[in-house]
């Protein structure tokens, strides 16, 4: 039997312990709330997401090491390196234009994830910030930005894609309202926004009547009204975008010949168009740089494909430097975050044909402008660029950095149906870039 005194003593101890636990829990919650409040919040209004599809080798671009020898199977960089405007940071000799303005850039040399041999899965990882699953289709970073910030002006889309249209770039569970307008030609604008010449007003009216009948039939068969609403919203947006205000942005002839030449070829013209779209109020633009395949393989430089890799790097260098200086001249650089991303890097070792395989454990991606504290090189890899020595940055961290720069809380929850999904998968921004 427990005595009355013992019972009271034990009860008091338990009560004190419980109160202490509650106090600690409350303090932890308070600290978590403070941590949320203290997230850096940038002032960028736009994002140009330059995509190097195929896996751009970091040793041959932004993180050069001692030069290797493909024939002698000596691992290392393929090219010599040069000094830049940032003291102590060197880049490939083929990035000579960017090297002169690198103080407007930040190189993140320690990005990493665990997808190695699947381009599609790695592309999905970098675009959505999450692994591929069989149960949920996550939105791309472009669609999240479109959802959170929207277009700046009426009559333009929030999100334009100049590259390969696929689910990786899409809105996922956010729905088609936050998808992209796809562009295939820098001169004529999105083809889907123009009515074919053989579609007269009368024929268009007949199509509308037919579509209304399809809608009603879908409803009578128990179809979800939300599906009809999403489709109608997409059609309505397309009709708004077909007006002259948006389509005039595609007239590159309005720019001087000297400026067009400064940007370079087709990829450069896409970057110039991105600047025009920014001026028009588009929020997020992805520009793909693997469309020309100047070396026959793009950035996927296995075997002999690496022999002409320098042509890709030089084309990137010209367009990227031109875009930075052009935005700066128009006082738009601080308002525009430029992101240079790729699905993974390349190892220091050379394959049997003198090219390189895939490497995702440590590689480089780049930010420029955006009102960040620029001219900083984040992280360090070992002497062969194969392992992270300091300051690892995960893909969710990279996403959180972009979102914070655009004034978006990376911990805010979106909803896949009724299930809450944070914008990033526990990503933390690279605070050094915000001066915090």
Question: Does 375 lie in the same domain as 310?
Answer: yes
> Is 16 part of any domain?
no
Tokens 């024929």 found at: 203
Closest CA to 368 of 186, 102, 41: 102
Question: Does 412 lie in the same domain as 305?
Answer: yes
> Is 32 part of any domain?
no
What is the reported pLDDT for 237?
A: 61
Closest CA to 193 of 232, 246, 150, 257: 246
Question: Does 158 lie in the same domain as 131?
Answer: yes
The DSSP line for 243-312 is: SHHHHGGG-GGGS-HHHHHHH-SHHHHHHHHHHHHHHHT--EEEEES-SS-TTSSTT---GGGGGGHHHH
Residue where a domain stops, chosen among 184, 211, 241: 241
Closest CA to 173 of 350, 370, 410, 418: 418
Task: List residues bridging with 380 in a β-sheet.
Answer: 390
> Is 144 part of any domain?
yes
Question: Does 207 lie in the same domain as 185?
Answer: no
Question: Does 223 lie in the same domain as 93?
Answer: no
Task: List residues bridging with 286 in a β-sheet.
Answer: 49, 161
Closest CA to 327 of 159, 40, 105: 105
Residue where a domain stops, chosen among 177, 211, 241: 241
Question: Does 409 lie in the same domain as 316?
Answer: yes
- Are the C-beta atoms of 274 and 301 separated by less than 8 Å? no
Q: Domain range holding 219?
A: 199-241
> Is 45 part of any domain?
yes
Q: What's the DSSP call for residue 72?
A: T
Question: Does 394 lie in the same domain as 355?
Answer: yes
Question: Does 212 lie in the same domain as 174?
Answer: no
Q: What is the pLDDT along the chain (436 residues), one digit of tens a residue?
A: 456 565 556 655 555 555 555 555 555 555 454 445 589 999 999 999 999 999 999 999 999 999 999 999 999 999 999 999 999 999 999 999 999 999 999 999 999 999 988 999 999 999 999 998 878 999 999 999 999 999 999 889 999 999 888 899 999 999 998 999 998 777 666 655 555 656 676 776 787 788 777 878 787 787 777 777 776 666 666 556 655 678 888 889 999 999 999 999 999 999 999 999 999 999 999 999 987 778 888 999 999 999 999 999 999 999 999 999 999 999 999 999 999 999 999 999 999 999 999 999 999 999 999 999 999 999 999 999 999 999 999 999 999 999 999 999 999 999 999 999 999 999 999 999 997 6
> Is 93 part of any domain?
yes
Separation of alpha carbons 94 and 79, rounded Å? 8
What is the reported pLDDT for 196?
A: 62
> Is 12 part of any domain?
no
Give the predicted TM-score (pTM) of the model. Answer: 0.84
What is the reported pLDDT for 202?
A: 77
Tell me the CATH number at 411: 3.40.720.10
Closest CA to 148 of 119, 178, 170: 178
Question: Does 150 lie in the same domain as 214?
Answer: no
Question: Does 269 lie in the same domain as 209?
Answer: no
Question: Does 104 lie in the same domain as 83?
Answer: yes
Residue where a domain stops, chosen among 208, 241, 274: 241
356-382 per-residue burial string, b: 16 or more CB within 10 A, e: under 16:
bebbbbbbbbbbbbbbbebbbbbbebe
**Domains of the chain: total:** 2
> Is 385 part of any domain?
yes
Q: What are phi and psi of 79, to 5 degrees?
A: -125, 170
What is the reported pLDDT for 161?
A: 96
> Is 25 part of any domain?
no
Helices H, strands E: what count in the chain? 11, 15
Question: Does 326 lie in the same domain as 235?
Answer: no
């Amino acid at each position: 039997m427990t005595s009355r005194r013992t019972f009271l003593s034990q009860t008091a101890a338990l009560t004190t312990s419980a109160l202490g636990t509650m106090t600690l829990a409350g303090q932890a919650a308070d600290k978590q709330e403070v941590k949320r409040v203290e997230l850096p919040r940038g002032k960028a209004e736009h994002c140009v997401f330059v995509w190097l599809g195929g896996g751009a080798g970091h040793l041959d671009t932004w993180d050069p090491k001692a030069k290797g020898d493909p024939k002698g199977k000596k691992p290392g960089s393929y090219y010599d390196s040069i000094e830049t405007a940032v003291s102590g940071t060197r880049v490939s000799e083929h990035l000579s234009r960017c090297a002169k303005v690198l103080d407007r850039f930040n190189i993140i040399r320690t990005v990493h994830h665990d997808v190695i041999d699947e381009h599609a899965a790695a592309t999905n990882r970098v675009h959505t910030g999450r692994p591929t699953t069989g149960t949920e289709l996550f939105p791309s970073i472009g669609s999240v930005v479109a959802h959170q910030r929207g277009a700046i002006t009426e009559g333009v889309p929030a999100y334009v894609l100049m590259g390969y249209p696929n689910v990786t770039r899409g809105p996922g569970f956010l729905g088609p309202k936050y998808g992209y307008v796809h562009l295939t030609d820098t001169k004529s604008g999105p083809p889907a926004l123009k009515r074919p010449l053989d579609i007269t007003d009368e024929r268009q009216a007949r199509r509308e009547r037919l579509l209304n009948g399809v809608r009603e039939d879908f409803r009578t068969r128990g179809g979800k009204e939300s599906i009809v609403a999403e489709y109608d919203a997409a059609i309505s947006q397309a009709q708004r975008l077909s007006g002259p205000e948006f389509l005039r942005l595609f007239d590159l002839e309005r720019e001087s010949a000297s400026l067009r030449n400064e940007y370079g070829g087709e990829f450069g013209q896409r970057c110039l168009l991105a600047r025009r779209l920014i001026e028009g109020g588009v929020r997020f633009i992805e520009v793909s740089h693997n469309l020309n395949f100047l070396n026959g393989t793009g950035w996927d430089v296995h075997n002999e494909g690496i022999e002409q890799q320098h042509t890709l790097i030089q084309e990137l260098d010209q367009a990227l430097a031109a875009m930075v200086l052009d935005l700066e001249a128009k006082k738009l650089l601080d308002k525009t975050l430029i992101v240079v991303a790729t699905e993974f890097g390349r190892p220091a070792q050379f394959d049997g044909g003198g090219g390189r395989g895939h490497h995702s454990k440590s590689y480089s991606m780049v930010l420029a402008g955006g009102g960040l504290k620029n001219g900083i090189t984040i992280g360090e890899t070992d002497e062969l660029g194969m392992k992270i020595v300091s300051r690892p940055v995960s893909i969710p961290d990279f996403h959180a950095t972009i979102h914070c720069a655009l004034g978006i809380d990376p911990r805010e929850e979106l909803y896949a149906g009724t299930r809450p999904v944070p914008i990033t998968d526990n990503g933390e921004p690279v605070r050094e870039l915000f001066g915090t």
